[in-house]
């Protein structure tokens, strides 16, 4: 009986057991023959998170890939440039389940609005569901008032936005084709006018960056009232174009993956020393999450403050904890 059960398990479990029994070595990297069809994406088993203290488990993905190809970005290395959408009906079915637990959702897409027609149909269908949600969009989303209005009306209260740099030459060099630095202030205001807060991202350490970049970034964030931000140090992740270039130029200084957390310098910067880059990054984080800067940026009447005020306090305490560990 036991043997019958065991064989039934072996046959049922398929190639994994077969490999063990045949003593076939496991592969260090498994590569798919083709990208997953988004219609085959299963609904996540969120019940496994119960009792584990997670702040939010209402995360879901509607699209994968990005049509752009920024030099530093690992998204296209991982998901490819072909933008793939999950059928809207399937997303709505998952949202119906989620709204029973929590009316807050985070679409973890890397660029939710790359296919305008898809995004518009998703936002229109979500209108009235009562969700408040966050996701990612490029800054030029501000140039599409109809789509932005639909996002706001469907409950969007914040977007992760990659500003990356205030220097247009650096933006061009990194391939950030969606960004015009001279339009940032005006575009940030459009987000705010639609009730959509911004979690901005600025990559530090591009070849055009010098020690003079840090203070203007802080001043810009305050002038534009950027609700929250991250300031990642340029990190040459495997598969990215920037890694290929820095490797060719002999500028990678560490392959210790523990330091590949966007808070450590793992390459030789061009416009400043590694120590200056690290110090500028640390200063910017401390200054941005100081009480005075938080006051200037977020304590104005705006519907996104409900999410961004706690987010600021969360980032602030995480930065202070990290600083203590490093002392
Ligand atoms: S940084 Fe954003 S826009 Fe650029 S490739 Fe990555 S996901 Fe796409």
Please tell me if the CB atom of residue 70 comes closer than 6 angstroms to any atom of ligand 1. yes
In sequence order, which residues have a C-beta less than 8 Å from that of residue 75 and are 6 or more positions away?
A: 65, 66, 110
- pLDDT number for residue 1: 36
Contact of 231 with 285, CB cutoff 8 Å: yes
Query: From CA 196, how far away is CA 133, in angstroms rounded?
Result: 10
Query: From CA 6, how far away is CA 150, in angstroms rounded?
Result: 55
- DSSP H or E segment with residue 23: none
Q: What CATH number was assigned to the domain covering residues 79-326?
A: 3.80.30.20
Q: Return the structure tokens found at 325.
A: 């560990």
Please tell me if the CB atom of residue 171 comes closer than 6 angstroms to any atom of ligand 1. no
Query: From CA 218, how far away is CA 204, in angstroms rounded?
Result: 13
- pLDDT number for residue 325: 67
pLDDT in tens, the chain (327 residues): 333 433 333 333 344 444 444 555 678 888 888 888 999 998 888 889 888 888 788 999 999 999 999 999 999 888 888 999 999 999 999 999 888 878 899 999 999 999 999 999 999 999 999 999 999 999 999 999 999 999 999 999 999 999 999 999 999 999 999 999 999 999 999 999 999 999 999 999 999 999 999 999 999 999 999 999 999 999 999 999 999 999 999 999 999 999 999 999 999 999 999 999 999 999 999 999 999 999 888 876 566 777 888 888 888 988 888 876 665
**pTM for the whole structure:** 0.87
Q: Which atom from ligand 1 is nearest to the alpha carbon of 178?
A: 3
DSSP code for 24: P
- pLDDT number for residue 210: 98
Per-domain residue ranges of the chain: 79-326
Closest CA to 198 of 158, 150, 232, 139: 158
- pLDDT number for residue 7: 37
Give how far Cα 91 sits from Cα of 15, 61, 77, 238, Å: 31, 8, 25, 31
Contact of 297 with 225, CB cutoff 8 Å: yes
Please tell me if the CB atom of residue 138 comes closer than 6 angstroms to any atom of ligand 1. yes
| Cα 109 to ligand 1 centre (Å) | 11
φ/ψ region of 258 (left if φ > 0, alpha if ψ in -120 to 50, else beta) reads alpha
- pLDDT number for residue 25: 67
For the chain, the distance separating the N- and C-terminal CA atoms, rounded to the nearest angstrom, is: 61
- pLDDT number for residue 56: 82
- pLDDT number for residue 5: 38
- pLDDT number for residue 2: 37
Q: Work out the number of other CB atoms within 10 angstroms of the CB of residue 184.
A: 20
**Which of 72, 76, 107, 201 for a ligand 1 pocket mutation test, highest count of atoms within 8 Å of Cβ?**
76
| Cα 70 to ligand 1 centre (Å) | 6
- pLDDT number for residue 300: 67
Query: From CA 40, how far away is CA 55, in angstroms rounded?
Result: 27
């Amino acid at each position: 009986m036991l043997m019958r059960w065991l064989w039934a398990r072996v046959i049922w479990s398929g190639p994994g057991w077969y490999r063990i029994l045949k003593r076939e070595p496991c592969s260090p990297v498994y590569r798919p023959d083709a990208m997953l069809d988004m219609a085959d994406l299963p609904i996540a088993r969120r019940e496994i998170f119960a009792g584990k203290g997670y702040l939010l488990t209402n995360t879901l993905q509607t699209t994968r890939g990005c049509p752009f190809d920024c030099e530093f970005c690992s998204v296209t290395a991982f998901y490819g440039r072909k933008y793939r959408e999950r059928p809207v009906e399937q997303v709505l079915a998952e949202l119906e389940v989620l709204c029973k637990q929590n009316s807050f959702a985070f679409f973890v897409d890397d660029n939710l609005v790359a296919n305008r027609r898809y995004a518009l149909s998703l936002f229109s269908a979500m209108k009235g569901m009562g969700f408040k949600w966050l996701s990612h969009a490029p800054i030029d989303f501000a140039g599409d008032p109809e789509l932005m209005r639909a996002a706001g009306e469907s409950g969007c209260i914040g977007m992760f936005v990659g500003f990356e740099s205030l220097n247009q030459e650096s933006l061009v060099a990194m391939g950030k084709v969606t960004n015009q630095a001279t339009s940032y202030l005006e575009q940030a205001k459009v987000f705010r006018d639609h009730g959509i807060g911004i979690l901005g991202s600025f990559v530090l350490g591009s070849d055009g960056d010098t020690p003079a970049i840090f203070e203007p970034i802080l001043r810009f964030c305050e002038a534009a009232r950027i609700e929250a931000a991250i300031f990642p140090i340029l990190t040459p992740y495997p598969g990215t174009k920037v890694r290929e270039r820095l490797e060719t130029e002999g500028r990678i200084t560490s392959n210790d993956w523990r330091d590949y957390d966007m808070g450590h310098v793992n390459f030789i910067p061009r416009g400043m020393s590694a120590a200056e880059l690290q110090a500028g990054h640390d200063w910017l984080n401390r200054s941005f999450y100081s009480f005075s800067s938080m006051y200037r940026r977020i304590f104005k009447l705006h519907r996104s403050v409900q999410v961004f005020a706690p987010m600021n306090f969360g980032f602030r305490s995480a930065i202070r904890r990290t600083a203590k560990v490093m002392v």
